[in-house]
Structure 1
Amino acid sequence: MANEKITVETFVAAPLGDVWHAYVTPEDITQWNAASDDWHTTRAEVDLREGGAFSSRMEAKDGSMGFDFAGTYTKVRPESEIEYEFGGRHAQVDFVPGNGGVTVRVAFDAEDTHPIEMQRDGWQAILDNFARHTEAKVSGRDA
């Protein structure tokens, strides 16, 4: 199972520059990076360059548990693609503009601890939160 790739994607009805900015800015990451309402990201750090590190602290809102999601960027093509390694695994994020917005696609190496469906559902939920956050931010600015 460790070699299996999982892909999730979402469409964000917002300009590419806004989508990119919301994906890579720590202040935005803390607003959208959670798979469910009982979790949140308390801090995020981003050194957006090849060889740069990133880290997000994810915690249960009731304080019962938490973990750091951290890794190193291996490829950064602004407003196009990000690749990174985390815990011996690899992920690629593509930003594909078109049809009045941007499709954000994330492909990542599955891990052996949790079922594939659980991993896919968790990453998809985070990506859906990202889309909602970004669209709300852009529409609020336009209002």
Structure 2
Amino acid sequence: MKIVIEMEVKAPLGLVWAAWVGEEDIVQWNFAVDEWCCPNAELDFQVGGKFSYRMEAKDGSVGFDFEGEFTEIAPFKLIRYRLGDDREVEVAFMEIEDGVKVIEEFVAEDENSAEQQKQGWLGILRNFKKHVESKCNEQ
């Protein structure tokens, strides 16, 4: 089953793209709820390059590595990657009148309900929007 989520980010495309692929930015937004964090992000941003983002509860009680390999990169437009369990993910960046629409499509896993997964990924995307827009306001 494929799940699609999207979010409009009020920021220039260059800033949105940089925040999506920059290790210093990823650790600021890559978690679904405030009780979690992303203490480490490493990526080799090229086709065939691998990435690993550590996601864990702030109290250290639980965590996991979100890992995969980039399969397609169209700068400022599209990123595709394959997760460690072979699920495919696509992230599209579309310029709109007052910013960028980020559209994520991913294959659901079997452990959690589709709705739980959708809400988790939406939480991360909300954090991304908040992070990028706050950077935009600083400039």
| 2:101 counterpart (100, 103, 107) | 103
Which residue of 2 is the match for residue 43 of structure 1? Answer: 40
In 2, the alpha carbon distance for the partners of 1:113 and 1:67 equals 14
Deviation string 1:67-103 (CA, Å, 9 cap, x unpaired) is 1000000000110000000021000000000111000
State the percentage of identical aligned residues.
Answer: 48
In 2, the alpha carbon distance for the partners of 1:59 and 1:122 equals 13
Deviation string 1:23-53 (CA, Å, 9 cap, x unpaired) is 0001000000010000000000111110000
Which residue of 2 is the match for residue 133 of structure 1? Answer: 131
Counterparts of 1:1-143 in structure 2, within 5 Å, are: 4-86=1-83, 87-141=85-139
Normalised TM-score (structure 1): 0.95
Normalised TM-score (structure 2): 0.98
In 2, the alpha carbon distance for the partners of 1:55 and 1:91 equals 15
Paired residue total: 138
Gaps of 5+ in 2: none
Find runs of 4+ consecutive structure 1 residues off by over 2 angstroms: none
